[in-house]
Amino acid sequence: MKVKRLLEMRPPSAGLKKIVGFTRVDGVLWVSLWFFLAATASLRAGPLSSDQVAASAASSSITESDKPQSTRYGLFDMLDHRSSYGQGVFPEPFLVDDSDLEVNEARLDWLTTQRNSLHNNLITGEVEKGFGLVTLEVEVPFEHNYDGNDVENGFANIDVGARVPIYQYVSSNGFVDSTFGAGIEVGIPTNSTVSKNAELVPKVFNDLRLGSHFTLQSVFGYSMLYGPGEDGGLDTFEYGFVFGWTIPHSDLPIPGVLQLIPMLELNGETALNLAGHGSNSLIGDLGVRVNTKPIGSIQPRLGVAFVFPVDRGARDDVHWGVVTSLVFEY
């Protein structure tokens, strides 16, 4: 996850891989196989637009007016055309990994944190592209850290990832809308002073909407580091939660603003092996995302949040911070 580069876990210990419940290779193979099957079905049968759903319903009502039409589709009919997944309902997170479907999106984030005299800066450029229901993403982060006269900077791991929904549930009245999915992320080391280890992160997610205002995005990942760096061989459990409350223009008519979304995030990681086995670091951020009216074919989404430590592990690394985010949907 994004914040992991700035929150260094204490050196890890050996021996937990037998307790985790599946080996690295077998676990990754199972996740990759399921992801491939779901992605293949998603590419072949993407979600229908609202007009297509309406036209299909109207056509069906003429021929089979008294027979309810199924809204299910995809692999084993596990997806639902009524879902709001990929419709811009879920706000882009600040620190937690994104989980919504993004068709064409670019973003630039700047995260700065401080602990006493230690200052950390992380600038990340990202591009996301959707193919059917599959979202592919590439992140290029640059890290700059300084503590007095000690300066460390360079490009961190270049992350390449993919995600896809697997199962969707939408209640009959549309109040509950939940999407479960899976993804995978590969961190490619740049061999800079801040990037020595490759990283592989299979993950699962859930995007939940309740009513027309509340959203909750949850992401859980199993990170494995490979390489000669001091954290090589470290396994961590990563988790994140994004709470959002969408205020539409009709409720708060701010000129030029389509939606105002106050957000609370919790982002954490727990070391599963090596010397730091069991140590946890949990940080939070409180901010707002502003989705403005489109400028031509580009729709900007601006955001700013205050970052704070939640537990002792996070306080050892961060006392406070600020993250700003510029997202462009095109």
pLDDT in tens, 94-113: 999 999 999 999 999 999 99
Q: How confident is the model at residue 69 (pLDDT cuts 50, 70, 90)?
A: confident
Q: How far apart are CA 56 and CA 82, in angstroms?
A: 13
Q: How far apart are CA 154 and CA 145, in angstroms?
A: 9
> Of the candidates 51, 36, 37, 161, which has an alpha carbon nearest to the alpha carbon of residue 102?
161
Residue 311 maps to which CATH number? 2.40.160.40
pLDDT in tens, 140-152: 999 999 998 899 9
Residue that is written with structure tokens 């599946």 in the block = 22
Is the pLDDT confidence value at 121 over 90? yes
pTM for the complete prediction? Answer: 0.84
Q: What is the number of domains present in the chain?
A: 1
Q: Which residues contact 78 (CB under 8 A, 6 or more apart)?
A: 72, 166, 167, 168
Residue-wise DSSP of 110-168: EEEEEETTEEEEEEEEEEEEEETTEEEEEEEEEEEEEETTEEEEEE-PEEEEEEEEEEE
Q: Residue 16 is encoded by which pair of tokens?
A: 């937990």
Can you give the residue range of the structural domain that contains 271? 2-329
